[in-house]
Every structure is written in C-alpha cells, then in structure tokens.
Amino acid sequence: MMSFRSLLRSQRSLSLRPSKKFLALHSSCSCYSASAAAIEAERTIREGPRHDWSKDDIKSIYDSPVLDLLFHGAQVHRHAHNFREVQQCTLLSIKTGGCSEDCSYCPQSSRYDTGVKGQKLMTKDAVMQAAQKAKEAGSTRFCMGAAWRDTIGRKTNFNQILEYVKDIRDMGMEVCCTLGMLEKHQAIELKKAGLTAYNHNLDTSREFYSKIITTRSYDERLETLKHVREAGINVCSGGIIGLGEAEEDRVGLLHTLATLPTHPESVPINALLAVKGTPLQDQKLKYGR
C-alpha cells in the first residue's frame, strides 16, 4: 500500500510536469487574435462612430465570423439604443405602378409586364383612414411611398402629400416618405410640413449600379440624400442583396453609406423578391459567403 508521504510526493511530481499537449494548447490560446468585428465594436463604443473607413476595413468586418458579428453588433446596438424597444411602423403605397424607371427588380415599372397597373395618388380621406388604423394598431410612424422617378412637374400631387404629412403629424405620429428624387426646395418644404424621415435607397455599389438601373445615376441618388440631410430630415438609405452582385459590391454599398458626412439614421437591407415579368425574375438569392 502507498504511504501518505509517497502519495504527496507523487502529486507534487505530477503538478510540476505539465504535458506537452497542455503546453501546445496553452500556446495556441495565447496567440488568439480578436476579429475585426470585435476590435471595431470596442473602438466604436469607446470613441464613437467614424467616417474614414476604407473598403479593406469594411471587408475585414464583413469577413468576421458570423457569431462575432452578431455578438459585437448587439453590443454596439445596446450602447447606442434602448435594446428593449422596437418601433412599429406602417408603410402604405399611396401611388402604385406606372413608374418610368427601369429598376430591374421592380414590378411597378411601366416598362415591364408584371400585372401591376398604374394608379392615381390616393385621396386624402383614404390615406388618413389608413394612418388612423395604423396608429390604433400600435404604429408610431407612418410611411408613404409613391412609384415616381421624381416629383418634378407634379406640383399638385406634391402639395397634396405635404397636406398628408401635416395632418398625420397632427395625429401624433412620425412620418416618412419615399417619393423618388427630390430637389433642394422640395426637401425644405417637406421639412416644414413636419416630415420625420425620407427613404431613398442606393440599392447596390456604384460599380454594379448600372447593371440594375440606367434611368437615374448613382450621383443623382446621393444628391437627393444630400438635399434631405441639409433640410434637417432624417435619412433612411440602404440597399438590396441578391441582385447578382458580388461580395465586393456589398462592401462597396456599405462603404458609401459609412463614409457619408453624417450616417443615415436607418439602413434597410432588403433581400430580392424576384417578380415574374421583371428582368430579374429568374435571379436566385445566394446565401452565405
């Protein structure tokens, strides 16, 4: 039988001789490097937003492990927002179809046979009833969209929309619009009417853009965002994935948004819903990287 003293000597001997496997594991753990998502999240929480991003910076975050992106994205979100709150919004198409644009994904374009017919602007009574119903259902923001390239030459319709904005604000709701391109004076008028936010998506990267849309330029979209921002209206601008773009196009879109003088308050990222009759009707959304 082993004595108590021998047992102690044996334990001391074992404790002083770590195995090679343990040393190798310890060495690999000590060399672990944090992902770009972790590093930038920590910096953002410490120093605030930055606007001097390079595409390589953004690509390194894009390539971070998905669970790192989820975890550290949530950390930044909790730092900037009340994570227990979600705003409920209602979107209404107040003028559907008949758009002169050639956006390859859009069933509302008059250039494609999608079964969507051009309609006139909804009446004030119909819009207000929809807004009241949305408020009763718990929405605090009411968004109105019109299928137009722009509102130039639509003075009557534009003035009607200004009335809609004023009356919905009087109901105690925030108001958002997406009406196509805006001129500077129109953005100012919408601000005076009480508009909270304006949506105008960039859709994709500058490099891929012409493969999706030819009837307005990327710079024209950026000019509308500039008019909206200078008028003091919150900016809502994002894009669509699944258009056939490459990863560098997704990075390019994020780079454009991240280097704007003031970041958009909202960045919607949509997944393509391929509609029969559009040029992208057979486009399949590719998941993963």
Which residues does the annotation place in the binding site for [4Fe-4S] cluster? 99, 103, 106
Which residues lie closer than 8 Å to 217 by C-beta, 6 or more apart?
none
Instruction: With CA atoms as reference, report the closest residue to 207 among 173, 255, 163.
Output: 255
Buried b (16+ CB within 10 A) or exposed e, 216-254: bebeebebbbbbbbebebbbbbbbbbbbbbeeebbbbbb
Burial of 206 (0-12, 13-18, 19+ CB in 10 A): middle
For Cα atoms 238, 243, 249, give the angle at the middle one, nearest 5 degrees: 60
Q: How many residues does the chain have?
A: 289
Binding-site entries? 99, 103, 106, 143, 176, 236
How many angstroms separate the Cα of 49 from the Cα of each of 60, 80, 156, 256? 17, 10, 41, 15
- What whole-number distance in Å separates Cα of residue 228 and Cα of residue 185? 10
Cα dihedral sign for 75, 78, 84, 90?
negative
Asked if residues 247 and 207 have their Cβ atoms less than 8 Å apart, the reply is: no
- What whole-number distance in Å separates Cα of residue 8 and Cα of residue 22? 22
Alpha helices in the chain (DSSP H): 4-15, 20-30, 36-47, 55-62, 66-80, 124-136, 155-170, 184-193, 206-209, 218-230, 247-258
Binding-site entries for [2Fe-2S] cluster? 143, 176, 236
